[in-house]
Amino acid sequence: MLKHLLENIRNIGVHPHLSDEESSVVKMVNDGLIIAIIFTILDTIISLLTGKIDTALFTMMFPVLFMLSMVLHHYGKYYLAKVFLITILGVLLVIQSYFFGDTVDITNLFIVLIVFVIVVFEKDFLSIIIFTLYILLAFFLKNWIVKNLDHPLANEGMIYAKEVYFILSLILTSILILRVLKRKQRYIDLSNSLLTDLEKNNSALKESNDRLKSFAYATSHDLKTPLRNVASYIELLSRRISNLDDQKIQDYLSLTKKGVGIMNESIDDILTLSSLEYNSERWVILDLEEIIDELKFNYQVKLESDSLEIRTKALPKILGNRAQLIVLFQNLIDNSIKYNENSKVIIQMYGEKRSTDTLILFKDNGIGIEQEYDTYIFEPFKRLHSNSKYDGTGLGLAIVKKIMDSHSGSIKLQNNKQNFGTLFELRFPKLNNDKG
């Protein structure tokens, strides 16, 4: 019965909307109040039995004020309850020093109060500072009062007052320590539980992603064969009806061929995107100048006809996957050529090794991209233009972004102040530079 009653008192103010941490603080304050109320009631009874009426009247204020704090808890006024409790304790302890002088040693309670303040206001640094200073001020004021003023009830104090206050301080401190340790252990258990769940979820997610990538790779690969057959039959059909004087049929076949070409390009891009994870080529130190020189071979006709110019300057060495970086820069170059209305496409690449990373600037003189689309363009299948104007699958920059992610780097659209063309900023981490 008594245990049930104490448990109900401990849970005063513990409402369902509170978090476990907040409920723990409320219970901890209630524990301290229960102990203090019991001691002050005993103090009052002893004072009455020994005929010390003035002392009894003084100590009767304590349980009344402590109960008022618990009423504030009950109505959810948690912050007000804590402020009220600390404030009235400081005031009462100073008043007690005036009436009883040094017959009652309250130093221990001041120490408990400071610890109590730190615990209940642990998330509010300013409150901790303010109330700790308040308690210290009360402590120094108490010492001044004891030394410099007369104490009208100096002979009314309990014989064992110092011992009682010491025991009370010890109990309150023990409650605080046990509560803090219990909360700490709960946080450790919760962290371990969350870590375990996170590891399980990561493992399940990795397994799911691996299956999805494998499926995408296999499906894309399997689609190539029937698509080649469709393209072959369309070509045969085109030859068989080449002599027919029907422009609509010729237009239909032309559109069908274009659609098959777009689908074939899409499948190739999906294969590239899904196979990036499966590329087992060892990461090595790579010279970007050599990679660009190798890529220039794919654009030899355009370079020789002076419809394309690729300029490079100070391209550094980095640690990376050769096959992936070739795909990356080829996609950027292809985009620069595709989205360009000039008679000559000019691509410029600059490199700069810095203290924190390696910066690569990729710039062209194409139609450019508005800054508002700086994140949109890197999402798969996102295109700013229709196929009727510019062919494409919407996967090129998504592939580039994925390759940069796999190199622990980043790519973003830079604001081109010259108001023409596109400027990409590629950053490779310093770790790669150090290894390179």
Per-domain boundaries in the chain: 2-159, 281-435
Given a cut of 50, the residues of the chain with pLDDT beneath it are 278, 280, 432-433, 435-436
Global pTM?
0.44
The three-state secondary structure class of 411 is: strand
pLDDT score of 386: 57
The C-alpha R_g of the chain, in whole angstroms, comes to 39
Provide the 8-state DSSP code for 276: G
pLDDT digits 0-9 by tens, 68-87: 888 988 888 888 888 888 88
CATH 3.30.565.10 for the 281-435 domain, yes or no:
yes
Model pLDDT, residue 427: 92
Smallest CA-to-CA distance from 326 within 370, 365, 294, 350 is with 294
Amino acid occupying residue 105: D
Q: What is the DSSP letter of 368?
A: -
CA distance 367 to 80: 63
Q: What is the pLDDT of residue 435?
A: 45
Q: How far apart are CA 94 and CA 187, in angstroms?
A: 38
Give the CA count within 13 Å in the CB-facing half-sphere of 230.
14
Phi and psi at 157, nearest 5°, equal: -65, 160
Which residue, 367, 361, 304, 313, is CA-closest to 337? 367
Across-strand partners of 345?
308
Joined tokens for residue 358: 């390696």
Residue of 109, 113, 114, 111 lying closest to 165 (CA atoms) = 109
